[in-house]
């Protein structure tokens, strides 16, 4: 696990590239406090900051092949590196270390881009080819690890694990892109490949790119929809056979994700996702196993009893931290400075990662992805049902539809506004899924933008920018698998995994996600939909697979979610932060927002007894606070 950075340029001198990459690495020292390095290779200058997980005494980067042709910088973990090492050894490769970086380098030298299909893990890496004077970069299939880049008009390429590192190079301006603000208000993040900054991009999951002679070519190497069917009859055997195989695959994924030369722990909320990981991890970590959870004074948000029950059952060394709104308020400057982009989520990961770091754990497994691959969200029920009803809705006379939508608009609830968006804009399941995760309803989103930005965003439309790509990729997939893919490719990738990476690495923690595993997900993709997803029975497949290890109270409990009591704290200890965010000086720094509309939203929240709107107010405050924190730096 590392932070990586580099510049490839035929225009800039080695000295200027070195200083720029050195600054980039210094900006990511939290990602790699165990060492680092900067080296020149032809037109490339590559750098890293290392968090040592495998072969602690070796594995320094940048790392070159024995003949000096290929040089790699790598962020992530390859869980099957020992299998690949054995295979490569049979092909004549010798190894000087016991780390995954050297194996990945040899795999690329042996198989070039075809190595990507062999990798099991999370990764973002770059390889300089000295013979062809080219740079190859790739990001993992699901985007667990990030890779940002800026391609200058003179053909120079800057890349890094963090946007802050790119900006530290001083090779580009830090200009907020107004249309990205509109995207953030819709999706709680800026969907890749765009970012909140103009001309800074994010390599999308499952993509690779090659820089050669000042040209950058990006291609897709991974597709969830490739060869997918509706799932009917896709696997042999009965449902009990499927459950048994699922247990084997889950156990295999947790085993693979537990490999490390440092202590491994787990986040434990007490829900079925994290509890299943702890139960399986216990079988692969026979010694000390630490678990970590947050508790709150607000009892309705705290799952400490469930977490303690699982910890006691599996004999973990359990650590709790009582988080208060006052502590969050005091930590907001550091939280904002940790962000690459504004996000209305993820603060829980910041504090539970801090807890793990304080207790000396470097690698932590998380239950992220369980809801997405096993149908744990309401979208798995609502989207297919609405897709079936859409033809009947569309068959109504236009005048009737307009009248019904007009009646909905008179009801100022979040649910009625979202339903209005569905009925006004969506024509099929993919368009419904594209609108499902919108934070602000379209009318509210446009109102929050100043007129010039509003018009541009209006022309772009309400749908997710990757709608056409996803619809094409999934055209042979069944409805539940399509919803699964939408959740994986949008909310999980752009929000949960992005936040997980930023806030865990801010505390020098390697966060691993056994549910977001290419081998597990590829296998699940070939199983019948009715086996994997049971919309009427919360995560039935996972529950049945863990029947012998987890108590019924854990397997049968309803979803709570790893939420913080923001709705309460925003009226108390977080009020000062919010008042500052919505003040005139703060709004003056955000000219693409309509200040009056923002203030009206804040006042409505203060006066309303319905606190369900807290996430919209909070996400907007974080956006404004993020911009302010950058202005003050």
Residue 335 has what DSSP assignment?
H
Distance between CA atoms of residues 434 and 619, nearest Å: 19
- Nearest CA to 386 out of 398, 375, 394 is that of 394
Positive/negative CA dihedral, 194, 197, 198, 199 = negative
How far is residue 197's CA from residue 195's CA, in Å, rounded to a whole number?
A: 5
Backbone angles phi, psi at 113, to 5 degrees: -65, -20
DSSP 342: -
Asked if residues 215 and 155 have their Cβ atoms less than 8 Å apart, the reply is yes
Q: State the DSSP H helix or E strand holding residue 442, giving kind and residue range, or none if neither.
A: helix 442-447
- 159 with 125: CB under 8 angstroms? no
DSSP state of 296: -
Greatest extent of the chain over all pairs of C-alpha atoms, in Å:
74
Do the strands 207-212 and 290-295 form a parallel or antiparallel pair, or are they unpaired? unpaired
Which positions are catalytic?
Answer: 2
From start to end of 469-521, where are the E strands? 510-512
> Which residue from 549, 560, 510, 551 is spatially nearest to 304, judged by alpha carbons?
560
- Strand 215-220, strand 207-212: pairing: antiparallel
Kindly give the residue spans of alpha helices, DSSP state H, lying in 509-613: 518-525, 529-532, 540-545, 552-555, 566-569, 575-581, 584-588, 595-607
145/192 Cα distance (integer angstroms) = 13
> Between the CA of residue 581 and those of 449, 600, 619, 624, what are the distances in Å?
16, 13, 11, 6
């Amino acid at each position: 696990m590392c932070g990586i950075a580099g510049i490839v340029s035929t225009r800039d001198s080695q000295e200027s590239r070195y200083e720029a990459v050195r600054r980039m690495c210094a900006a990511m020292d939290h990602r790699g406090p165990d060492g680092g390095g900067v080296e020149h290779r032809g037109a490339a200058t590559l750098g890293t900051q290392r968090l040592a997980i495998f072969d602690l005494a070796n594995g320094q980067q940048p790392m070159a092949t024995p003949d000096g042709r290929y040089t790699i910088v790598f962020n992530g973990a390859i869980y099957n590196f020992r299998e690949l090492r054995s295979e490569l050894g049979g092909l004549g490769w010798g190894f000087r270390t016991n780390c995954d970086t050297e194996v990945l380098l040899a795999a690329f030298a042996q198989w070039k881009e075809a190595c990507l299909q062999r990798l099991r893990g999370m990764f973002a890496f770059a390889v300089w080819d000295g013979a062809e004077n080219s740079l190859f970069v790739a990001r993992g299939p699901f985007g667990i690890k990030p890779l940002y880049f800026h391609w200058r008009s003179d053909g120079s390429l800057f890349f890094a694990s963090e946007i802050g590192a790119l900006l530290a190079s001083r090779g580009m301006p830090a200009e907020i892109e107004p249309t990205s603000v509109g995207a953030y208000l819709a999706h709680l993040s800026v969907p890749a490949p765009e970012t909140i900054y103009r001309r800074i991009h994010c390599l999308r999951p499952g993509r690779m790119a090659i820089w050669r002679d000042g040209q950058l070519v990006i291609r897709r190497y991974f597709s969830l929809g490739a060869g997918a069917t509706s799932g009917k009859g896709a696997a042999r055997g009965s449902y009990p056979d499927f459950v048994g195989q699922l247990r084997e695959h889950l156990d295999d994924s947790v085993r693979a994700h537990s490999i490390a030369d440092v202590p491994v722990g787990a986040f434990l909320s007490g829900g079925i996702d994290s509890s299943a990981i702890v139960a399986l991890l216990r079988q692969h970590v026979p010694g000390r196993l630490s678990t970590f959870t947050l508790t709150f004074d607000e009892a309705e948000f705290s799952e400490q009893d469930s977490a303690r029950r699982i910890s006691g059952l599996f004999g973990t060394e359990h650590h709790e931290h009582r988080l208060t709104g006052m502590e969050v308020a005091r930590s907001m400057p550091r939280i904002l400075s940790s962000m690459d982009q504004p996000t209305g989520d993820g603060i829980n990961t910041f504090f539970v990662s801090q807890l793990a770091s304080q207790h000396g754990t470097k690698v932590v497994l998380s239950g992220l992805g369980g809801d997405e691959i096993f149908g744990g969200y309401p979208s798995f029920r609502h989207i297919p049902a609405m897709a079936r009803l859409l033809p009947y809705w569309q068959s109504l006379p236009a005048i009737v539809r307009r009248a019904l939508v007009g009646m909905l608009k008179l009801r100022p609830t979040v649910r009625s506004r979202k339903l209005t968006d569905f009925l006004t804009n969506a024509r099929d399941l993919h368009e419904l899924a594209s609108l499902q995760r919108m934070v602000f309803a379209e009318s509210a989103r446009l109102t929050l933008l100043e007129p010039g930005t509003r018009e541009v965003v209006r022309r772009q439309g309400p749908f997710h920018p990757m709608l056409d790509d996803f619809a094409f990729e999934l055209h042979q997939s069944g409805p539940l698998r399509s919803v699964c893919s939408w959740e994986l490719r949008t909310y999980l990738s752009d929000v949960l995994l992005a936040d997980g990476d930023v806030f865990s690495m801010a505390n020098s923690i390697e966060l691993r996600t056994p549910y977001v595993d290419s081998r597990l997900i590829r296998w699940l993709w070939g199983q019948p939909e009715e086996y994997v997803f049971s919309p009427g029975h919360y995560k039935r497949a996972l529950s049945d697979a863990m029947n012998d290890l987890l108590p019924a109270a854990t397997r049968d409990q309803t979803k709570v979610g790893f939420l913080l009591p923001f709705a309460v704290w925003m009226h108390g200890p977080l009020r000062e932060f919010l008042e500052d965010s919505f003040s005139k000086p703060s709004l003056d720094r955000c000219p693409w927002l309509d200040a009056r509309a923002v203030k009206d939203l804040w006042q409505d929240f203060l006066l309303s007894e319905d606190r369900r709107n807290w996430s919209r107010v909070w996400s907007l405050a974080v956006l404004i606070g993020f911009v302010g924190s950058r202005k003050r730096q």
